[in-house]
Structure 1
Amino acid sequence: MSKTPFSEGITAGRLSAAELSENFGDLHPRFDDHEALVAADRCYFCHDAPCMTACPTDIDIPLFIRQIATGTPEAAARTIFDQNILGGMCARVCPTETLCEEVCVRETAEGKPVEIGRLQRYATDTLVDAGVHPFKRAAATGKKVAVVGAGPAGLAAAHRLAMHGHDVTVYDARPKAGGLNEFGIAAYKSVDGFAAREVDWLLKIGGITIETGRALGAGLSLDGLKATHDAVFLGIGLGGVNALGVDGEDKDGVEAAVDFIAELRQASDLASLPIGRDVVVIGGGMTAVDAAVQAKLLGALNVSLVYRRGRDRMNASEFEQDLAASKGVRIITNASPKAVIGNGAVREIEFAYTDDDLNPTGDTIRLAADQVFKAIGQTLEGEGLPALERGKIKVDDAGRSSVAGIWAGGDCATGGDDLTVTAVAEGRDAAEDIHATLMA
């Protein structure tokens, strides 16, 4: 985050430690035992449950809720982890309001779905907190698999491969494993270091070695990995940040939202983080909302989230949009950035109003800004990658790339939506295909 003398409005310690602690508390606190039983009792345990169809990882939702209702949350956790080994984090960050809970029969009938996400957290936390790992590793196969990227897709693939008896080495460019879960989501969604604890718990399966500070490049090439391993899985995410493409974008105070979120997630003292008085976030997805809300929670006086299309076109869910508004974030739609204005550092940013087809209407607006966060999408980075399609690694339904012996999944690949839960499903499914291929 910018700390130059040009950005006088960007300062640390706008709020007290007590205020920051309250602001960054758990967004959805864990159920206690009684709350979980009451919530589980609302489930109809549908035979043809629409919630299961809506879950990208195909968790047997009625079964795990019934197991909670009968007082066996450990069994419920096993049901969840069978399909989603990162079910604990997904319970915290998955947009359940637009997936399983949106199609819940209770939602259709009453406008209030079964709280599937919080029930999933209750079950999974039971095992993770106890340090119990419900799976055992199969006999060693002698096969070695390289996984590049220790995010949701890579970790899910590594665990499933290790469970099948393969030796897995996970390489990641960052100093810690976890990927998006550790560096890319709002701090109030993952409190008390849960992302790191979940990784430690996952590694209890055995057979997985993680090497951090290892990015694809001269010292870690795909050709080299192919030569020393029986298969390679790429879960490298999207490391680049799209540019605004406007005059003044290089001014001090203009930065990537993902960098702001990552710095906040790794900060040991939130009061030490500088934040602007007038913050503008450009984008309409989850990253934009996470950045805008956290800027407000850090003490920014005015936070505006500006999106070039209408509110109904925002990738952020209605829940996330409402969360931002409830925290005091001003949401401006149908406005596209035109210029960053200032002498050395940003002072204002000008937007052109647009219609639904992004055509300028002729009207403009200027917003005061001493800090601007870009959240308009990310791009794939890496050397010597397999064939690309629409800026991502082209894969088939099994995660196979254009190069034999290389699979890919998660945000870097042309699979499904850019969601944590989707990345987990793609990593898991690619691992199954890798296993079938290696043992054929």
Structure 2
Amino acid sequence: MHLNRVKNKKISLDDLRVNFSEIEPALTQKEAMDEANRCLYCYDAPCIQACPTGINIPSFIKKIASGNLKGSAKVIMEANPVGASCARVCPTEELCEGACVLNDASLPIMIGNLQRHATNWAIENNAQLFEAGQVNGKKVAIIGGGPAGLSSARELARLGYEVTIFEAKEKAGGLDTFGIVSFRLPQEISLWEVQQVENLGVTIHTNTKVGRDIQVEEIINNYDAVILAIGMSKVPMLGIEGEDAEGVYDAIEFVENTKTPPLDHQFVGKRIAVIGAGNTAIDAATCSVRLGAADVKMVYRRTEAEMTAYEFEYEFAKQDGVEFRWLTQPTKIIKDESGKVKALECVSMELGEPDESGRRRPVQVPNSTFTMEVDAVIKAIGQTRYTSLIEEFGLEHNWGVVKIDTETHQTSNPKVYAAGDVIFGDGQGDAMVVTAAQQGKLTAHAIHQKFIAENQVAIESR
């Protein structure tokens, strides 16, 4: 797509909105058919093994080749309840496409684009792909309506459970709805996946915060099982002077604000510093460019080799003209007379011995202080945890990472399960949408197996 940049012309709000249109063009019917016919339909397909949700990739591609797009979408969504979103945001070159046998001969099959083609058909044709199961009399509460929560809900509804999701935001979908930039994942895609779940009879209470609008004890007492899928919270404080200046932003909130237009002109022509080098930092930087910023720098205290962003995200940011300042540590945000951001004071760093993460620890270079003039600072240095809510449930955790049985996703409270980002870290899980979806599925089936076992014991004891 063409990116409207600020040069010698005035930029309009319509220009900015165009900048947030989906960047990857959809395949035409012919392109999809040609690409599907390249697939070798491997018997022991490595692409399936590389997919965290185990989508039968040769099967859905073969259905595209035969013109059965509904069947193709059903194969995808059967394995991955947020498969339309994942078609856009999965690091496919590291997963399914990276495992494709054609990498050794030519180019891998465009699995992500074909997945998007099939699910686009389902969205455009308002297809309802699944039905609710026969009611079994059991009730499950899910706290959080993101990828893990939605996946759990979809599976449980198909197994006959009465499912209620409690979602703090005004719309369900979590990260997919609010936290991934629109030019990669338009909000309507995530909301279609939410609707697929609601159509199975799942009740979603939005604008409902557990601990405020409904109490933990009430949920525990009124449901047969509870799934904690609350994700993570806001970006932590930098802990430096001047952080209270006008023009300092939380990257999570910053990206979220671009998901629901109207946009405004406040970033046009501005100089932006993004602190961090993960995927959220990349999102904040590329959003800044699309909001008309004239100069965007990403500031990171380690080197390129230690950054946590995906390689394709890094390349995308470079193509957008984002500048990377490696081995740079912010030490102070300088304000002007009115309290607005004026500059960012930094020091140069060098890498020392590895820290607990295995990455080399950055160490300040003596007498290396310098200043860069900026108009806004965006913090993207990770996220805090909903520790207080976890503790209200009385669950064991390590700094907000809930401890689970890795087979069942059961927490220290046998009635409460957990999935998604709330269990990411401390050697548990992966911070990917597709992983959260798989965890949600596994949790739902673990609950189902528990109730089957309990029912069998009750029958045998009669």
TM-score range with shorter-chain normalisation?
A: over 0.9
Q: How does 1:348-363 map to 2 (within 5 A)?
A: 348-356=343-351, 357-362=361-366, 363=368
The 8 Å contact of residues 128 and 201 in structure 1, kept in 2 or not, is answered as: no
Q: How does 1:316-331 map to 2 (within 5 A)?
A: 316-331=309-324
Q: How does 1:41-56 map to 2 (within 5 A)?
A: 41-56=37-52
**Counterpart of 2:442?**
429
**Counterpart of 1:90?**
86
- Cα shift at 1:49: 2.1
For 2:346 and 2:433, the matched residues in 1 are separated by 32
- Cα shift at 1:423: 0.8
For 1:162 and 1:55, the matched residues in 2 are separated by 24
Q: Percent identity?
A: 38
**Counterpart of 1:389?**
398
**Counterpart of 1:6?**
none
Does residue 406 of the first structure (1) align with residue 416 of the second (2)?
yes
Deviations 1:58-86 (Å, cap 9, x if unpaired)?
Answer: 11112211221222222111111111011
- Cα shift at 1:166: 0.5
Q: How does 1:274-289 map to 2 (within 5 A)?
A: 274=267, 277-289=270-282
For 1:97 and 1:367, the matched residues in 2 are separated by 36
Match of 1:64 among 60, 65, 79: 60
For 1:337 and 1:73, the matched residues in 2 are separated by 51
- Cα shift at 1:272: 5.7
Q: Go from structure 1 to structure 2 and tell me whether the alpha carbon gap of 1:427 and 1:186 turns closer, same or farther (over 3 Å shift).
A: same
For 2:35 and 2:372, the matched residues in 1 are separated by 44
| Structure with more contact order per residue of length (Cα contacts < 8 Å, sep ≥ 6) | 1
For 1:90 and 1:259, the matched residues in 2 are separated by 22
Q: Which runs of 5+ in 1 are unaligned?
A: 1-12
Q: Which amino acid aligns with 2:24?
A: H
The 8 Å contact of residues 265 and 291 in structure 2, kept in 1 or not, is answered as: no
**Counterpart of 2:330?**
337
Q: Go from structure 1 to structure 2 and tell me whether the alpha carbon gap of 1:279 and 1:47 turns closer, same or farther (over 3 Å shift).
A: same
For 2:236 and 2:297, the matched residues in 1 are separated by 20
Q: How does 1:12-411 map to 2 (within 5 A)?
A: 15-110=11-106, 112-191=107-186, 193-206=188-201, 208-267=202-261, 269-271=262-264, 274=267, 277-343=270-336, 344-356=339-351, 357-362=361-366, 363-381=368-386, 382-383=388-389, 384-385=392-393, 386-397=395-406, 398-411=408-421
Q: Go from structure 1 to structure 2 and tell me whether the alpha carbon gap of 1:48 and 1:187 turns closer, same or farther (over 3 Å shift).
A: same
RMSD: 1.8
For 1:107 and 1:355, the matched residues in 2 are separated by 37
The 8 Å contact of residues 67 and 75 in structure 1, kept in 2 or not, is answered as: yes
Which secondary structure does the structure 2 equivalent of 1:173 belong to?
Answer: coil
Runs of 4+ in 1 over 4 A off after TM superposition: 272-276
For 1:394 and 1:75, the matched residues in 2 are separated by 38
Q: Which amino acid aligns with 2:416?
A: I
What's the TM-score, normalizing by structure 2? Answer: 0.88
**Counterpart of 1:9?**
none
For 2:166 and 2:265, the matched residues in 1 are separated by 31
Number of residue pairs matched by the alignment: 425
Deviations 1:160-204 (Å, cap 9, x if unpaired)?
Answer: 111111101100111111111111010111236222233123322
